Structure 1
C-alpha cells in the first residue's frame, strides 16, 4: 500500500507541488491556489487513522483492509474540519480526491462536474504520482510511460480536461 510515513510524506509533497503547477497552468487565482496547496498537501491525512499494518502493507489488501483505506478521505476531512478557518475548497479536496468521473469513486460516488474542480486537479496528480513512484509490487513508470495509461483513464476515472492540461506541462514540472 503506502508503505511508510516517509513514502506518504514524499507522495503528499509531490502531489502538492504538481497540483500547484497545474493550478497555475489552469489559471487559478492566487487565493484558490493557496487552498489547492493546502488540500493537496493534506489529501491523504486520513491515512494516519488507518491501522499501521494496512498502511505499511506491501501486498494485496483484503476486502476488509481496502474498506478501511477507502475511509481515509472522510477521516481526513473530519480531522481538518476541526481546524479553525481551514479553507472549504481544501476540505473538499481531502474528501473528494478519490471520486471518479464515472461516479464509481468514494466516498460519495460523485461524477464529472459534481466533483469539486480542485479535487479533480488533485485526483489527476495523485494518480500520476502513484504511477511514477515505485511500489513493492511494481517499479515506477517513467513520465513517458505514465502518459498513455493516464490518458486511457481520462473520462472514466479522471477528468479529461485536467488530464490533458497536466500532460501538456513541461516534464521538469511533473518530475
Structure 2
C-alpha cells in the first residue's frame, strides 16, 4: 500500500518525505501514532499488476528529478563498512587539508590525487551509503571548512546513488562536490569566520568565491566541465536571487541544483561561529519551506527521501522509552531502520550497546516495537559521535 497524503500537512508529521509504501504491521503502527486516516494511491501500490496498464507516453530517459531504478543494492553491512569507510574519509580529509594549505600558502594545489580519493569514496557509498553517512555526523566546529567539503562530497554521492546515477557520473559529481568551495580559500579568514553580520563589502568578497573556485579549477587541464560548473553554480537559486550569475531555474545545471541542496543541508546542521546546528528533521523542514524559491522542488523531495524518515546518525526514542542511534535503513523499509540501543527505558546506559534491526522485529499487535520520535542533537546529554566512533573502532579492532 502506498501512502500518498496524510490527514495533515507533511511537516506536522515525523515523516520527512512525501509518499511511502506500507509493507508491514509495524509501518501501519508508525502511521497510526500520528494520523487518524491517510489517502492511498492504488496505482503506486506494490501489488498493482502493471502488465495490464497501457503505456500512454513514449519511453524516455529518467529525468534528474525522477530517480532511475539503479543497479545499487547494499553489498555489505554498515558495521562491516564502517572501519573501511573511516579510512577513506580520513584520506579525503587529508587530501582536502593539503589542497587548502597550498592555496592559502599561495601555491598551486595538487589536484591530481582527487580522482583516486573520490573513486574510493564512491566505492564505499555504492557498497553501503550508511557507513559514510554515519561518519558525516562526526562534526568538529574547528575544522568546519575541510569537514564541510568532505561531508558535501559524501552526501552528494549518496544523493546521486539514490537517483540511480552510474558510477562514472558519481565520480564526476563527487569530485565537484568535494571541491565546490575551493574558491573560499582565497577569502580572508577574518571574513570567513566572522561571527557578526558582514558588511556589504565583506559580503561581496564572500560572493566572489564561486567565480574564484572556477578559476582555480580551470587551471587544471584534467578538471571536467561539470566539476567547474558545480563550483561556479552551487549558490545559484531557482528564482534567480543566488550568486554569482543570478541564474533562474533550468539555467542552473542539474548537478549545480543538487549540490546547492546538499551544501545548505550540511551548513545548517553544523555548529558554526554564528549558530548551533539544527537536527536533521528541523533542517529538512526549514528547507522544505524554501523549495521552489531556493531549491528545485523535485530534487529536494528526492533528497529528503534519500536522507530518510529517520536519518542515519539520528538520536531516537523508542516506543519502549529506550534511546538509540539510527545506524542504517533499507531503501524500502525506512520506517524500520537498524538502531544501536544505548540507554534503557530508565535512562541507564547499555554496556555494551545493543544492535536492534527493526525489520526483524515482530510487527503485529497494537503495541509494535519501533521508533517513537527523533530527538534533537545533544538531547539527554548524549553525544552521538562518541558512540559512532565506538562502533567504528570495534570493527577495526
What TM-score do you get using the length of structure 1 for normalisation?
Answer: 0.93
Q: Distance in 2 between matches of 1:145 and 1:5?
A: 23
Matching of residue 162 in structure 1 with residue 162 in structure 2: no
The answer to which structure has the higher helix fraction is: 1
Q: Distance in 1 between matches of 2:198 and 2:277?
A: 20
1:150 to 287, 290, 310: 287
Matching of residue 172 in structure 1 with residue 299 in structure 2: no
- SS for the counterpart of 2:312 is helix
Alpha-carbon distance change, 92 to 125 in structure 1, aligned in 2, over 3 angstroms: same
The count of residues paired between Structure 1 and Structure 2 equals 172
Q: How does 1:117-136 map to 2 (within 5 A)?
A: 117-136=254-273
Q: Over aligned residues, Cα RMSD in angstroms?
A: 1.7
1:141 to 264, 273, 278: 278
2:206 to 40, 44, 69: 69
Matching of residue 113 in structure 1 with residue 253 in structure 2: no
Q: Which has the larger radius of gyration?
A: 2
Q: Distance in 2 between matches of 1:38 and 1:86?
A: 9
Work out whether residues 156 and 259 of structure 2, in 8 Å CA contact, stay in contact via their aligned partners in 1: yes
Post-superposition offset of 1:112: 1.0
1:33 to 149, 165, 170: 170
2:220 to 83, 86, 105: 83
Q: Distance in 2 between matches of 1:102 and 1:173?
A: 33
Which residue of structure 1 lines up, in the alignment, with residue 96 of structure 2? none
Work out whether residues 21 and 173 of structure 1, in 8 Å CA contact, stay in contact via their aligned partners in 2: no
Post-superposition offset of 1:56: 2.3
Q: How does 1:13-24 map to 2 (within 5 A)?
A: 13-24=150-161
Post-superposition offset of 1:6: 2.1
Q: Distance in 2 between matches of 1:78 and 1:38?
A: 16
Which residue of structure 1 lines up, in the alignment, with residue 234 of structure 2? 97
Which residue of structure 1 lines up, in the alignment, with residue 145 of structure 2? 8
Matching of residue 52 in structure 1 with residue 192 in structure 2: no
| 1:113-141 deviation line (CA, Å, top 9, x unaligned) | 11011111100000111110112222110
Alpha-carbon distance change, 138 to 18 in structure 1, aligned in 2, over 3 angstroms: same
Unaligned stretches of 5+ residues in structure 2: 1-140, 315-325, 327-397
Unaligned stretches of 5+ residues in structure 1: none
Q: Distance in 1 between matches of 2:220 and 2:198?
A: 32
The answer to which structure has the higher strand fraction is: 2
Identify the structure with bigger relative contact order (alpha carbons < 8 Å, sequence gap 6+): 1
